[in-house]
Amino acid sequence: GSAEKHGYRHYMLKEIHEQPSVISHSIEHFLKDGKLNEEALGITKLDLDKIQDINIVACGTAFIAGLLGKYFIEPLTGLPVNVDLASEFRYRNPHMLDEGRTLVIAVSQSGETADTLASLKHAKEAGCQIFSVCNVEYSSIDRISDSTLLMNAGPEIGVASTKAFTSQILCLYLWANAFAKQIGKLSPEQENQMTQELHSLPVHIDLAMNSEDKVKTIINDYYESPNFLYIGRGPSYPIALEGALKLKEISYIHAEGYASGELKHGPIALVDRHMPIVAIAPQDEYHDKSISNIEEVRAREGMVIGIGHDKDDKLQAVCNDVIPCPQVNNPAFQAILSSIPIQFLAYHIAVKRGTDVDQPRNLAKSVTVE
Ligand code: G6P
């Protein structure tokens, strides 16, 4: 069945390589006659006109997908978006409006995470609308929700989430576009432009798979480091968080993800010639700032692995190594593409260190108790 390894050494590696096909299937599933499919995207069952603010709740990698979601849900819908760890949201008496005026979004691969489920129960009692982005139909989170967007990413077996993460990004992004369209904030021209960019995503994600070769050739210089720092700005900031999370989960290397702009507020004190810094640096509106941040850590002898376009001479000039990643204009799609090299980096470092990649110590695929 679909849950076999198909010749891959680990489920995680298989699931990383499945991403081009998951994305292709998603395009078929979430578009209808070339337009956003409101039904598959879980829009039709929500009372959109009532919504005044949005809270996203999730744990782990799903939380990071939610954090990224804020970067495009807010500008697309014009609504304020707050993102919370479910374990905090459930206890901190968050601001919520009754009569469906607050929309609470849960992001959960399994649909069974205890804290996320408890947050939804709390939100339901407070009279919020409940929407979830979920990979498992009939899971507890699917059942408690007023509306569910089923990700359709196929079963994910590796404890470290990979294909579910990129699928969550895509789902949240397409949902936000469908929402914006419904409330008159996305014109037919904008929808066309977006779907055109979407149709070229499978080709780019296929190309992103080539980053694996480069990862394999550079890790000898890095895999014994006890610490790693990941930095990024804008949508690359959540990707930095996810890169650090992936690395610590499966290789047991201490890693931190930071917003590049926060470097000076702490982590730069850690930088010396023993510190590898992974800089997620696509050629977007933040590129110049990313380059100067890299120069700052290089000046303190940090070793920089850049993730960016292989034809980016500026980036090549300031990094010790560059892991090539395709470049696109759409920031949400760029975030999906930047995810691929950080997954390969964590995976191959972990394999090199001989850890149990699919079943890392002390971790569970789904945390169903508090
Ligand atoms: C565990 C898993 C993570 C996952 C998190 C949230 O920590 O190891 O990979 O991101 O739970 O799980 P969920 O099923 O709610 O997405």
Query: Relative to the CA of 165, which ligand 1 atom is closest?
Result: 10
CB 139 less than 6 A from any atom of ligand 1: no
Closest residue to atom 5 of ligand 1, CA basis: 60
For residue 103, what pLDDT is reported? Answer: 98
Compute, in angstroms, the gap from residue 214 CA to the centroid of ligand 1: 28
Q: pLDDT tens-digit profile of 89-105?
A: 999 999 999 999 999 99
Query: Relative to the CA of 141, which ligand 1 atom is closest?
Result: 15
For residue 1, what pLDDT is reported? Answer: 42
For residue 175, what pLDDT is reported? Answer: 98
| Helices vs. strands in the chain: H and E counts, helices first | 14, 12
**Cα separations (Å) of 264 from 210, 270, 271?**
33, 11, 11
Compute, in angstroms, the gap from residue 361 CA to the centroid of ligand 1: 15
For residue 2, what pLDDT is reported? Answer: 47
CB 87 less than 6 A from any atom of ligand 1: no
CB 108 less than 6 A from any atom of ligand 1: yes
For residue 234, pLDDT beyond 50? yes
Compute, in angstroms, the gap from residue 54 CA to the centroid of ligand 1: 21
For residue 55, pLDDT beyond 90? yes
DSSP state at residue 241 = H
For residue 140, what pLDDT is reported? Answer: 98
**Cα separations (Å) of 3 from 26, 151, 153, 321, 360?**
19, 17, 12, 35, 19
CB 110 less than 6 A from any atom of ligand 1: yes
What percent of the chain is predicted at pLDDT more than 70? Answer: 99
Average pLDDT in the chain: 97
DSSP state at residue 219 = G
For residue 332, what pLDDT is reported? Answer: 98
Q: pLDDT tens-digit profile of 158-169?
A: 999 999 999 999
Q: Which residues contact 96 (CB under 8 A, 6 or more apart)?
A: 55, 102, 104, 123, 126, 127, 128
| Distance from chain centroid for Cα 245 | 11
CB 132 less than 6 A from any atom of ligand 1: no
Lookup: tokens for 238: 């959540």
Query: Relative to the CA of 363, which ligand 1 atom is closest?
Result: 8
For residue 3, pLDDT beyond 80? no
- Three-state DSSP class for residue 342: helix
Examine the residue annotation and report whether 311 is marked as an active-site residue of this protein.
no
CB 120 less than 6 A from any atom of ligand 1: no
pLDDT band at 369 (very low <50, low <70, confident <90, very high): confident
CB 157 less than 6 A from any atom of ligand 1: no
The residue annotated as part of the active site, out of 124, 314, 352, 365, is: 365
As a whole number, mean pLDDT of residues 174-191 equals: 98
pLDDT band at 336 (very low <50, low <70, confident <90, very high): very high
CB 144 less than 6 A from any atom of ligand 1: no
Q: pLDDT tens-digit profile of 30-46?
A: 999 999 999 999 999 99
CB 363 less than 6 A from any atom of ligand 1: yes
- Three-state DSSP class for residue 188: helix
Compute, in angstroms, the gap from residue 335 CA to the centroid of ligand 1: 19
As a whole number, mean pLDDT of residues 6-16 equals: 95
Closest residue to atom 7 of ligand 1, CA basis: 60
As a whole number, mean pLDDT of residues 311-318 equals: 97
pLDDT band at 370 (very low <50, low <70, confident <90, very high): confident
pTM of the predicted model as reported, rounded to 2 decimal places: 0.97
Compute, in angstroms, the gap from residue 368 CA to the centroid of ligand 1: 10
Compute, in angstroms, the gap from residue 112 CA to the centroid of ligand 1: 9
Q: pLDDT tens-digit profile of 241-300?
A: 999 999 999 999 999 999 999 999 999 999 999 999 999 999 999 999 999 999 999 999
For residue 6, what pLDDT is reported? Answer: 87
Q: pLDDT tens-digit profile of 95-152?
A: 999 999 999 999 999 999 999 999 999 999 999 999 999 999 999 999 999 999 999 9
For residue 334, what pLDDT is reported? Answer: 98
Compute, in angstroms, the gap from residue 164 CA to the centroid of ligand 1: 10
